[in-house]
Amino acid sequence: MTGLPPLTDSKIQRWIVGASFRRGERYYRVLEGEIDRALETLERYSQQHRWGRNTLALRVAQAAEESRPRDAIRLYLEEVERLIAGRGRGSYAEAANYLLRVRAVYEQMGEEKAWQTLIANLREKNRRLPAMQDEFNQAGL
């Protein structure tokens, strides 16, 4: 992190909102170094805006996987629930991809049992959605 200027909340918010969103290594290094502030900014932004929140939350979740894994899981699961509620195979397949990330985070934390409980509960809760079950099976969940 040496050589990078300190971030202000407004800089984090501009990056998060997308006005100067940068893909790539530098962006993620900066965001990972300021993950607490990015999470706070996400919460403030979410209270004021719904548009763009999902993209923002997913980028923060990805950056938080190592330093704040529980926050990353929470953000991914919010998106999974939104996708499942939207119905459709495409949404279920996308939800499955985020669940693969959730599983990886749980494995990094050494909490495979918590993962097994989560996926079992999610499948049971949505047992009447055969297309979702199929997509989850195809993803190996």
pLDDT digits (tens, 9 = 90+) for 35-86: 666 666 666 555 444 544 466 778 778 888 888 899 999 999 999 999 999 9
Please tell me the predicted confidence (pLDDT) of residue 127. Answer: 95
Number of domains in the chain: 2
Domain of residue 25, residue span: 1-54
State if pTM tops 0.85. no
Query: Residues 120, 84: one domain?
Result: yes
Predicted confidence (pLDDT) at residue 27 exceeds the cutoff of 60:
no
How much is the pLDDT for 141? 95
Shared domain check, 82 and 31:
no
Examine the domain organization and report whether 3 and 36 are in the same domain: yes
If DSSP codes are grouped into helix, strand and coil, which group holds residue 2?
coil
* Token pair in block for residue 42: 């996400």
Domain-located, residue 112: yes
Q: Flag whether 46 is in a domain.
A: yes
- Structural contact between residues 104 and 66, judged by C-beta atoms closer than 8 angstroms: no
The verdict on 46 and 75 lying in the same domain is no
